[in-house]
Structure 1
Amino acid sequence: MKYSFFAVFAFAALFNMGCKEPVSTKATDGETNAIFPKGKLGPAANFTGKAWNTDLVANDTRYNTVVGNVYFEPGARSNWHIHPAGQILIITDGVGYHQIKGQPRQTIKKGDVVKCPPNVMHWHGASPDTGLQQLYIVPNTEKGIVKWLHPVSNEEYNNSK
């Protein structure tokens, strides 16, 4: 079926009228370019510094998966935590750190994919000078979503070994 240029243009214009434009930040002063809106500030009980969360796929019994976006401001990080069924991180911008308990801290950056194994204590967050944008995927939520633990110390955060 052939469509005229005008029909395609009109459809695109109507479709885009209902779409929200994502919040975009300039990649200056340690910030990153956002794909999704900044979202809600994460609770200080679970984060050191400011981390902003946007829920993208809510938990339900059909997919049993949670998907969201987190922006960590420079220096911000999660507490140590555990996901009963694991977690996948897709780094979409910036530079940060990820560490599994008992292993060296890893530097993560745009384009990296990180697999956090089930029931393994870990943390992640931004580097001191650059923010970090990440998508997170938590599968099999019927096993539980997250168990928050204690804060990551400054010594742990700064230790690259």
Structure 2
Amino acid sequence: MLRSAETLFLGSHINKVDAKGRIAAPADFRRALKLDAFNGFYCVPSLLGPYLDCGGANFIENLQAMIAALDPYDPDRAALQETLIGQARPIPFDGDGRFILPQPLREHARIGERALLMGCGETFQIRDAQGAEERLAAATERARRALGKLRNPPPLQIGGGAR
């Protein structure tokens, strides 16, 4: 199920990692997570690079559903369960909207003094902020080349369907 625009993770935020390892969560990201019973988010180390894939309860539920759709005896299913679900962590917010990433997650994402929280719509990523401008420039160039792949969405059905 698609999230409404108010509950999407949009934009990018660079926040300082304090001496205790706390990172302030952007207020709009916290609002997007308000629908969940858990006051926080879920985080898994990405298999595609040194960053973290994050989201609300639906993120983990969707991830588990995709893995569960594989044959139960498929070794890839076991590897995905062990690597993604086995390393997933619930990350709670404190009273001030901050969170602490466990050391293995910080090490995977190579997070130093500043963290980049980047909205990806229904999910978000946490990366080290160093090099963010260069990554954005490279992504922008690729996005320009990929622009032609986008298609208009189907028209909205208003009033309950065909007449």
Higher normalized contact order (CA 8 Å, seq sep 6+, divided by chain length): 2
Q: TM over 0.5: same fold? A: no
TM-score range, shorter chain: under 0.3
Structure number with higher strand proportion: 1
TM value normalised by structure 1: 0.24
